[in-house]
Structure 1
């Protein structure tokens, strides 16, 4: 049990730090290239580890579904989020991403099973989106900037894609080791992102970008992808879902504080209050979903 709590601490803190690492990395290369190199390398390392342990390649159907999920949850989520951080603060990005549980609830209702839409659930959704609206109000002047708007749009698409990918993962219930499957998702999505970045005219890093780029990339590969995801899977398999979800409330706080302390990102009382309102809405949504399951 101690190991499970340690893993939860790792996920809660270190996944929050990846926003800072990504924000630093995109100063030197395009977001899709950074995310692509991160996921490709992590995918190679994870899949190679399992293949060397004697695991067989999954069949074509499972591989094709891992490809689809990888594209939705990593290309169209992690990739777009990393790209977005070229234009918006890492803390703002993390707060928007915190609404993912609300999107998952919405898509689960329409695509998995039409569970009861309780008043508590609807109130939680409303509060969560009002919190995000409050943060946008604080950035009204920045919304006039086309690049800032693009960053917001990319982040919202990323949230929707992660939610859809999560729902698909639940529906398909792939019979493959979680980490082994994640390795293929990282590998497939990483290759797609690198190719996309090249087609967009963004070259591989030349090697002369300096310590910031390579330090952020190494950090994202080993701490964000391999250690972070491994710890997350361990948490899911050893702690109750209600406790495992604690990381979702801590990640944004870590991201906002690090962005403010290290990158001098904008933060004031409106941002703080709006962020807390958003996280409160997400908590209420999770609570309502848990109650609905107990009733069912």
Structure 2
């Protein structure tokens, strides 16, 4: 196995498991506070990694950089973490990763005016049908994990992912103006997104010494450490390397593997439900993603 193939396998494993600590830690602390803590730490470390390049952002790029950071990280992860706290981790991963190429197609059409071909329309239709299978029985009360907000949790994950895709498309014009491209952009988007998450958390959640101390308690502390160390730093480092060596298409293939890992982990470790309706929905969404990601 080549080094990049081994790194790809590690990336799929790490990002497939990130929904598990979110689900576990959110039972003991606010999901918004957890998201804010993750990005405060990760943002600071990424800025240190970018070094002097972090200070070389063109002045004209700052308004778009701030706006996209609030979409890609603040809005995305506020909805994502809240949703993952109420929905099974495996299904949250499927909705998140499999809808990225679908929402991106729609965002590119609305923002950049790129035509939606017949193949892309098929991808959107399949993805919509897949979401229907995942949501249908939950909305009718026929299946679920017992959380009354489970359907809303999946909807929150889907909406957060849409915010991410809109922000990603809006980021394209400024990517080429950044030193070391992806690293500098991601560093500032993470740091600015963290600031936005702090504001959202303070407005919506009670935050005091007890809540902050809870971040250092079991099982929140190891979950947070995994999200920062493995999810943000290791995962992002590997993704940048694969983006360089394999291109966006090859690096993006993690979206087909990581959700499978998330489902298996959720079923085995948290006894999360995964029946025929979920399997059909997942298959349709993976097919949609495959069509959308086709070269």
TM-score by length of 2: 0.89
**Distance between the aligned counterparts of 1:87 and 1:208, measured in 2?**
20
Which blocks of at least 5 consecutive residues in structure 2 are unaligned? none
Contact 2:82 2:153 in 1 (8 A): yes
Q: Secondary structure at the match of 1:239?
A: helix
**Which one of the candidate residues 258, 266, 269 is aligned to 1:262?**
269
Cα distance 1:272–1:54, how it changes in 2: closer, same or farther (>3 A)? closer
List structure 1 runs of 4+ shifted beyond 4 angstroms: 142-146
Contact 1:30 1:202 in 2 (8 A): no
Contact 1:138 1:271 in 2 (8 A): no
Deviations 1:154-178 (A, max 9, x none): 2222121011011112233342222
Question: How far 1:127 sits from its partner (Å)?
Answer: 1.3
Tell me which residue corresponds to 2:177: 175
Q: Secondary structure at the match of 1:240?
A: helix
**Distance between the aligned counterparts of 1:247 and 1:132, measured in 2?**
20
Aligned positions, number: 286
Tell me which residue corresponds to 1:107: 107
Cα distance 1:165–1:246, how it changes in 2: closer, same or farther (>3 A)? same
Superposed, 1:82-97 pairs within 5 Å as: 82-97=81-96
RMSD of aligned residue pairs (Cα, Å): 2.3
Deviations 1:4-32 (A, max 9, x none): 32332222221111011111111121111
Question: How far 1:50 sits from its partner (Å)?
Answer: 2.8
Superposed, 1:34-73 pairs within 5 Å as: 34-51=34-51, 56-73=55-72
Tell me which residue corresponds to 1:286: 293
Q: Which moved more, 1:239-248 or 1:80-89?
A: 239-248
**Distance between the aligned counterparts of 1:12 and 1:260, measured in 2?**
18
TM-score by length of 1: 0.88
**Distance between the aligned counterparts of 1:156 and 1:202, measured in 2?**
26
Tell me which residue corresponds to 1:220: 227
Contact 1:112 1:171 in 2 (8 A): no
Tell me which residue corresponds to 1:198: 202
**Distance between the aligned counterparts of 1:50 and 1:249, measured in 2?**
30
Deviations 1:77-132 (A, max 9, x none): 122111112221111211211212111011112212423x3322212221121111
Q: Secondary structure at the match of 2:85?
A: coil
Question: How far 1:208 sits from its partner (Å)?
Answer: 4.6
Question: How far 1:58 sits from its partner (Å)?
Answer: 2.2
**Distance between the aligned counterparts of 2:259 and 2:274, measured in 1?**
13
Tell me which residue corresponds to 1:185: 189
